[in-house]
Every structure is written in C-alpha cells, then in structure tokens.
Amino acid sequence: MLDLLADLKPVLTALILPPASPLLVGLAALAGLRRWPRACTWTLALVLALLWLSACGLGARWLQDHVLKPPAALDANARDLLQVSATSPDAVAIVVLGAGRRAQDEALDGASGLTEQGLERLRHGVWLARRMTWPIAYSGGIGWAQREGPSEAQTAARIAREDFGLPLRWTEDRSRDTRENAAATVALLRSAGVRQIVLVTHASHMPRALRAFREAAPDLPVTPAPVARVQPADRPVLDLLPSPAGARDVHNLLRELLGLWVGA
C-alpha cells in the first residue's frame, strides 16, 4: 500500500494543485448547472478568478511574502560572517538539493540533463563555492515520477565537472524527496567530518528543506542560501496579468505549502 501511494504521489500532487483542481471544480459546476444554477454560476465565477490569480505574478509574490515567507538571500555580509565563523574550510559543505533531471536529452547527444530548476541550483552552488572555497555536495536520486537512468546527482556531477569546471566533492544519489535528501546527505557529510551546512535550493523550497535538514541534524548549523526568489515585474501591470512564469511560480509555491502541510 505504501509503495502504491508513493507511485501515485506525482499524480495526486498534480490533481490537487492548479490548474487541475480549479478545472475539476469547474467541470463539476458545469455538470450541476441545470439543477443548481445559482450556486454553480457563482462557483464557475470563483473558479475563473482562481485560475486568473493562480497564473499571475502578483499572486505568486503574495504567497511568497505573506504565506511561505522564505529567508533572505545569503548576501556578501552574511558570507563574510560565515567564513569568519568556520573552523576550517573542510568543516563546511555547500549542499545543493536536486530538482529533477531530463533523461536522454537529444541536445546532449542522449545524455541526461538537469531541469531548469536543478541547473539553477547547481549554478548557484558553484557560484558560492568559487567565492567561499568550500566543497559542494549534490543530493538527488531518481525521483518518484522517474523510473530508470542515471541519478540526478550523477548527472549534476558530470555537468559540474564538464561545464562549470568545478568537480563535486560528494554526491548523494539515493534520495527521492526532501526528507530523504536531508537524512542521506547528513549521514554522508557527518562521516566526512563536516560540521556546518550551507543549503542551496529555491526560495520557495527553502522552508521545507530547512525543516528537513534541521530535523535530520539538530546539532549542525544549517545556513540557508536560497536562489530565484520571485521578483516584481519591470512593469507593475504585468504582475496583474496571467503568464507562464506566474503560473509556474504559483504552482511551485503552492506545492511547497502542500509539502509543509503534509510533512513531506
């Protein structure tokens, strides 16, 4: 039963989050329109409003700033303080959390690649490592929605070495979700003598990731280094209009809120 629920996890998540959930409610309202015209008309109006807001930058920023409230970026002053407090360079690890891979990418001659989010996280980890001179760990196995092929961590290791010219120190390639990321990575780094973690993931994912790592290692300091916080549009009116970027950001933020709620 647990294996079946795990296999259904990506499907259930997609059905719960927009646009699927408002569309399902809208279809139910259409089916009942003749029997309950007033209630179903109001329901359809609400569904349209929710679909509009769920694709707007304004909705994404409201969810980020007032509901999820991720920590601020790791700025230059915070990085300086971290370097001063570190006992030795080998006692600190920059941990980059995976965000999925692309299997058999034709543009890479059939090799696996990272998703846009995964590549963004890896790039930020490399950027930090070059300024802080701390080694990088990448955590990511084969996700619930994937079946076979190289792990995400193996893919990231190849990209870091070949494209960024900075090999990873550690790869954790068995985890399938954030809790498993934390448990497996903490065990790996403890055995290597790491005593402090700088955690890299998207701002929307950071609250859930921080909770998982602090539960897995309550004695180890974990410093958040979030990337890709949702920013206002250059023209404010664009934040009020639906867009692919707005829909993506709202979807990601709601998924993270759902993960926090169910304890995933």
Query: For the segment 171-203, what is each residue's pLDDT rounded down to a tens digit?
Result: 999 888 899 999 999 999 998 989 999 999 999
62 and 113 belong to one structural domain: no
In a domain, 232, yes or no: no
20 and 90 belong to one structural domain: no
101 and 150 belong to one structural domain: yes
201: helix, strand or coil: strand
Higher-confidence position of 227 and 84: 227
Is it the case that residue 165 has pLDDT exceeding 90?
A: yes
pLDDT of residue 133: 86
128 and 174 belong to one structural domain: yes
95 and 208 belong to one structural domain: yes
Q: Cβ of 243: how many Cβ atoms within 10 Å?
A: 15
- The predicted-structure confidence for 112-131, as pLDDT tens digits, reads as follows 788 899 999 999 999 999 99
84 and 175 belong to one structural domain: yes
In a domain, 169, yes or no: yes
Residue type, 26: G
Question: In this structure, what CATH number is given to the domain that contains residue 212?
Answer: 3.40.50.620
Distances (CA, A) of 242 to 47, 50, 56, 114: 14, 11, 5, 27
In a domain, 114, yes or no: yes
243 and 206 belong to one structural domain: no
In a domain, 89, yes or no: yes
10 and 123 belong to one structural domain: no
Residues in the chain: 264
**Residue of 21, 28, 59, 62 whose CA lies nearest to 44:** 28
pLDDT of residue 12: 79
Contact status, residue 230 vs residue 60, Cβ threshold 8 Å: yes
9 and 133 belong to one structural domain: no
Stretch (H or E) spanning 211:
helix 206-216
In a domain, 163, yes or no: yes
Q: How far apart are CA 257 and CA 208, in angstroms?
A: 8
In a domain, 107, yes or no: yes
208 and 123 belong to one structural domain: yes
Q: How far apart are CA 185 and CA 156, in angstroms?
A: 15
Contact status, residue 94 vs residue 134, Cβ threshold 8 Å: yes
Q: What is the mean pLDDT of residues 198-220?
A: 94
What does the DSSP 8-state code read for residue 185? Answer: H
132 and 221 belong to one structural domain: yes
Is it the case that residue 107 has pLDDT exceeding 50?
A: yes
Stretch (H or E) spanning 92:
strand 92-97
pLDDT class for 143, splitting at 50, 70, 90?
A: low
57: helix, strand or coil: helix
In a domain, 135, yes or no: yes
Q: How far apart are CA 10 and CA 66, in angstroms?
A: 27
Question: What is the domain extent for residue 208?
Answer: 76-227
Q: In what order do the strands lie in the sheet with 222-227?
A: 170-172, 136-139, 92-97, 196-202, 222-227
206 and 89 belong to one structural domain: yes
- The predicted-structure confidence for 47-78, as pLDDT tens digits, reads as follows 899 899 889 999 999 999 999 999 999 999 88
In a domain, 233, yes or no: no
How large a percentage of the chain has pLDDT more than 70?
89
**Count of structural domains within the chain:** 2
